[in-house]
Amino acid sequence: MDNVIPMEFTGKPMDGFIFVTESGHKSAKELAYWLQLCLNFNPLAKASKKRK
């Protein structure tokens, strides 16, 4: 997919995360697509473990 790259902070790609480049959300329609994709996925995601 154009304008999408793996999310990485330490040189190693993070599983389940992507980075949408600036050119991938220039219009309101493109931004709405990515936001809706995130909102659709959120209920399916596993909750993180609670810290003590």
pLDDT at 48: 81
Residue 28 lies in a domain: yes
Give how many domains the chain has, as a whole number: 1
Q: Indicate whether this model's pTM tops 0.85.
A: no
Does residue 52 lie in a domain region?
no
- Residue 48 inside a domain? The answer is no
C-alpha separations of 28 from 3, 12, 15, 24, 35 in Å: 16, 31, 27, 11, 10
**pLDDT tens-digit series, residues 21-43:** 999 899 999 999 999 998 998 88
Which domain covers residue 5, as residue numbers?
Answer: 1-33
Determine contact, residues 30/36, Cβ cutoff 8 Å.
no
pLDDT band at 2 (very low <50, low <70, confident <90, very high): confident
51 lies in a domain? no
Q: What pLDDT, in 10s, does the model give residues 9-24?
A: 888 998 888 899 999 8
In a domain, 50, yes or no: no
